[in-house]
Each structure stands twice: as structure tokens, then as C-alpha cells.
Structure 1
């Protein structure tokens, strides 16, 4: 996807106030309005201005856009930073499941793949808007449950008319067995309502931090386990780490590299729980001594084995 520099489109510095955004758009929109302009590219420029203004005029969309980084250039191949929306609190329509949040809709509109909430007018005496945010937790928290302190940032307009981020910290109970993509509902932690007791809710979308060892697919978890050639060939009892402690596992004799072994019920807890898949990775010892070289030579002579026997067919 290609990056679109909306500040450049509107002729603005990134430090521009919201009033600067409005003023620049109105000036350029008059200049390139297709019914008034004599520029040959007026229609295209007018559309680009409208797209840029649609994002930068809204504090939440603008803050989401700014989180992509300022080092990108117009037309440059672009991918958003990993977890760019972590802890970004924004408004949304809300639902019992929290699935009406629309942060990624903005990304799809801007780059074909940002989400930002559209401002909504609330009727008088109505319930406050629901808020949404994505938070990252450790995989181990899903196995055991945990109490965690999370930090959120929400866009606001300061007294000078600039978009800034207002931070808050919440203590959250992570339930045992939660999966990536599920939502935690914090009652009354959204926007204030018109009357006491009518505040909206906060929905936290759960995602897992990248783990150096484990990979997650729904409730199932997998890892690569290094084994020696003799453990794979002869079979062995090995210790396997899991997010909830180590377990013993049997490596069957004559196992090939890449073989998947299932530890039933050792995935993320649930009803039913997921499974843990152990993928065997055969690691060769180094031939870095006379004894090791002699052992390899003895193995070469003991086996009638050609690893490329079927490779060239």
C-alpha cells in the first residue's frame, strides 16, 4: 500500500492546530473546486483535499493517523508499525460484545488496510458513548488469569486547539482462558453521560504480545522443540515447556524433523481447552573435535543412507 501524507496535501505542518486545518482546507477547496477552478487536475486535487480533511479535522482520526509515524513520504510503500493501535482509546457505537468498534475502518479507507471513530452527536439526557481500545497481554495471563495495570491514551483538543493525548491507567482483571480477539467490558468507563449513572462502557480488545517461544492459533498453542538426532531416532522422554509450567513428553522412535506431537488439553484453558503442539526440530551436534568427527564417520559407515535419494527425481 502507498502512504498518503495528508499534512502535505493540505500544506500544513504536523503541529498545526485544528483551526489551521479548517482554514487551509477551505482555502484550497475554493482554489480547486471543479466548478470554479481552471486547473486541469482540479477534480483529483479536490478529492484528495476532501480525503485529507476528513481525517485531520477529527481529533481521533488525526491521532490514529499520527501514530503511523512521521518518517513516511507521500507515495512510499507503507506498512503500519506492529500494534500501532495498542492502548489507543477511541469512541465507538458499542454493543454487548464490543464488536462495533471501527478503528480499522479508517485504516482501510486511508491505506487499504486505520481505524478512528467518527464523532457522533448524542441526544440530550442520553447514555454516554462506549469507548474501545486494544491492549496486549502475555500468553501466560490467559493460562492463569491475572490482575494487570493498563495505560490508555485518548485524543483531546487542548486550549491552543492542538490534538494531544490524555492518558489514564486502569487496573484490570484478566480472566483465565481469554483468547485473542475477545473483549473485556468495563462498565461505566466510557464517556460520561448527561446524568449520573449513564456513562458508557469501555471495551478492551485482547491481543497477545509476541512470544519468543510460543505461537497461538485460537486456543491452540505451538512451539518448536530442539531434539538430538539420537532422541529422534531412538525415542526419548523430554521436558517440554508450556505457558503454565513444564511437562514430560515421549518422543516416539524414528521421528523425523518437523513432526507434530499433540499434548491434548495443554493449550489455552476453556471448555474445551486448546491443545499444545510440539514441532520437533532435530539439532545436529557440531563436529568440532576428533572424537565428534570419528562419531560422524562411524555413523556414515553404519548407515546406507542417501539424504538426496529422491531429491532429483
Structure 2
């Protein structure tokens, strides 16, 4: 069996990386290797490796245990001292090397005088490890909890705004139902307790984390909890001012256009962005776009020509 890669190496981060660095690295890798977008035959295995590495390193407690015990951290009992574990591993490695030099040894090893044992005394690694860990051998750790898992949940802007229920199909064909809270944001994680990997010997299953991805929209642009949308205006509405209707994910609203509004001006509707169940909602920004009639009637042309004759406004002149 191929040796498992170090989780820090999997994510491409330093062992001293902080939580933000780990999250940024994870998001970049997920976008590149998600099986839905990467059709390479090895993409799914790579995606699973990335997800497992992130699930461990993003949790401070599991990261601490991983740093102490490596890939054995799930099997090591909680009361084991990392130094004792390292010594046991060192002795096991020395035993394996001695056994290899002496031929078949039935799981026992010589050369133990290097560790304070008599030269003629055979040491059984199962006895050594069993005594160190309260009588439990390496093959008797007992139930192991299931691993946490992660998947992406793609939502429209409207779904993210209103929330609701969704049934999604995960990799492998498993379907789960999820309740989406109103106002979820891009990158937010929704936890489904007990929906992750199965535990061994009846141990509790892991959790499933759904990472929200808000899909692109023909009208809305979402940045955090703020929502942006274009607001088409006639030249006279922009010049004279007006109150116009604007569509938001929460329904129609009225926005006041000040006189002299130019294209690109942002008109804020406070609190009409993404809702926040436990805080302040985002804002909605209507971005003005001045539009002219594609075909002018004779009267419109006459009026525009009259305006051009009397106006001294030059938008290209530097102030």
C-alpha cells in the first residue's frame, strides 16, 4: 500500500499555516479538482484526499492530534502522551530493522540492549504497546468514529436569499436532504450531523459539511452580504431625478434617483441585501445605467437637438 501523504503537503501549506491560509489553499484546490469540473480519472481520489486533509487541519483539536500522532491520530487513545507514542514507534521501527537482518523472527526482535533490555531477551511489540496503552494492543483500539466529509452545494441567488429545502445527490449516488437557512453566503458551511463517513464497530458517524457556492446570475452580483444590480435610467430620469422601481431578490423596492445622476452611480437600499439571521442584513446597490432610445421619433429628435443647441455641458472636458 502506498504511504499516505502528509496533510500539509496535500494542501500545499506550511505546518505553521494559520486557519485562513489553510482555507484559502483548500478552496483553490477544490475548484481545480472537484469531479464535477475536472474529468481527469484521478480527480475524485484527489478531491477526497484534499477534503480529508482540510477536515482534519481546519479543526484545531484534530489538527493538534494530527501534529502529535500523524495519520495514526484517530486510533491513538486520548490519554496517550505524544512522547510515549514516539518512543513506541521508534522501538517498533528498530525491531523491524533487527528482524529484517536476522531473518524470520515470529514478530519478536533482538538488539534490544540498545533500549535497556538484556541482549538475550526477546521483546514482543504487542506486549510493549499493550502495556503502554493500558492493556490495549495496536489491533484492539476499539470503535473508531467516522471521518467528516465535505461537498459543494451550488445555489442560485434567490435560493441563498430565501433558504428552503433541497435534496442533493452526493458523489457515489447517495442522496441527502438539507435545510438551507435564509441568507447563506458564498463559502459558508452547512453542517449535517451524522451524515459523514461511517464509524467502525458501531462508533458514531462523522458529519457532512456542505460548502455553499452561489452561482452566477444574469442580473445580480453578490459580494459578501451585499447585492449589486444594474438600474437602467432614461436621460431625463438621470438629469431631473426620479423615483423608480427596482427588482431585488426580496421583491420590488423603490429607489430615489437624485438629479444629475451619471452612469455608474450606486444608489443604496439599506438592509435589502442578503438577510442575516443573527446579525445585520447586507445592502442592495442599484448601479445606474443611462439608456437612450434606440430609435428616435421626430419629436424626440427635435427635442434632443434643441437640448444640444442650448446646453454647454461637455462630459469630456476636464474640470
Q: TM-score, normalised by structure 1?
A: 0.59
Question: What is the RMSD computed on CA atoms of the aligned residues?
Answer: 3.7
More strand per residue: 1
Whether the 8 Å contact between 1:215 and 1:223 is mirrored in structure 2 is yes
Which residue number corresponds to residue 183 of structure 1? Answer: 189
Q: How far has the Cα of 1:298 moved from its partner?
A: 1.6
Which residue number corresponds to residue 135 of structure 1? Answer: 153
Which residue number corresponds to residue 147 of structure 1? Answer: 165
Which residue number corresponds to residue 203 of structure 1? Answer: 209
For 1:215 and 1:167, the matched residues in 2 are separated by: 32
Query: Deviation per CA, 1:41-77, whole angstroms, max 9, x where unpaired?
Result: xxxxxxxxxxxxxxxxxxx9x975794246xxxxxxx
Q: How far has the Cα of 1:245 moved from its partner?
A: 0.6
Whether the 8 Å contact between 2:244 and 2:255 is mirrored in structure 1 is yes
Which residue number corresponds to residue 277 of structure 1? Answer: 285
Whether the 8 Å contact between 1:188 and 1:198 is mirrored in structure 2 is yes
Query: Deviation per CA, 1:219-258, whole angstroms, max 9, x where unpaired?
Result: 1111111110111111111101111111111111111111
Secondary structure at the residue paired with 1:179? coil
Query: Deviation per CA, 1:49-106, whole angstroms, max 9, x where unpaired?
Result: xxxxxxxxxxx9x975794246xxxxxxxxx9xxxx8x99954553698799xxxxxx
Which residue number corresponds to residue 272 of structure 2? Answer: 266
Whether the 8 Å contact between 2:190 and 2:211 is mirrored in structure 1 is yes
Higher CA-based Rg: 2
Any gaps of 5 or more consecutive residues in structure 1?
Answer: 1-18, 23-59, 71-79, 101-118, 154-165
Q: How far has the Cα of 1:195 moved from its partner?
A: 3.0
Q: How far has the Cα of 1:284 moved from its partner?
A: 1.3
Distance 1:188 1:268, change over 3 A: same
For 2:264 and 2:158, the matched residues in 1 are separated by: 25
Count, aligned residues: 212
Q: How far has the Cα of 1:216 moved from its partner?
A: 1.0
Secondary structure at the residue paired with 2:55? coil
Any gaps of 5 or more consecutive residues in structure 2?
Answer: 3-29, 62-70, 76-140
Distance 1:224 1:99, change over 3 A: farther
1:304 corresponds, among 306, 312, 317, to 312
Q: How far has the Cα of 1:176 moved from its partner?
A: 1.3
For 1:278 and 1:254, the matched residues in 2 are separated by: 16
More helix per residue: 2
Q: Point out the more displaced range, 283-292 or 119-128.
A: 119-128
For 2:160 and 2:35, the matched residues in 1 are separated by: 31
Secondary structure at the residue paired with 1:150? strand
Which residue number corresponds to residue 249 of structure 2? Answer: 243
Distance 1:143 1:170, change over 3 A: same
Aligned residue runs from structure 1 range 69-88, under 5 A: 69=39
Task: Considering Cα pairs closer than 8 Å and 6+ residues apart, tell me whether 1 or 2 has the greater RCO.
Answer: 1
Secondary structure at the residue paired with 2:154? strand
For 1:221 and 1:96, the matched residues in 2 are separated by: 32
Distance 1:297 1:287, change over 3 A: farther
Which residue number corresponds to residue 55 of structure 2? Answer: 94
Secondary structure at the residue paired with 1:256? coil
Query: Deviation per CA, 1:25-56, whole angstroms, max 9, x where unpaired?
Result: xxxxxxxxxxxxxxxxxxxxxxxxxxxxxxxx
Q: How far has the Cα of 1:142 moved from its partner?
A: 2.7
Distance 1:66 1:279, change over 3 A: closer
Query: Deviation per CA, 1:253-281, whole angstroms, max 9, x where unpaired?
Result: 11111111110011111111111111101
For 2:50 and 2:34, the matched residues in 1 are separated by: 10
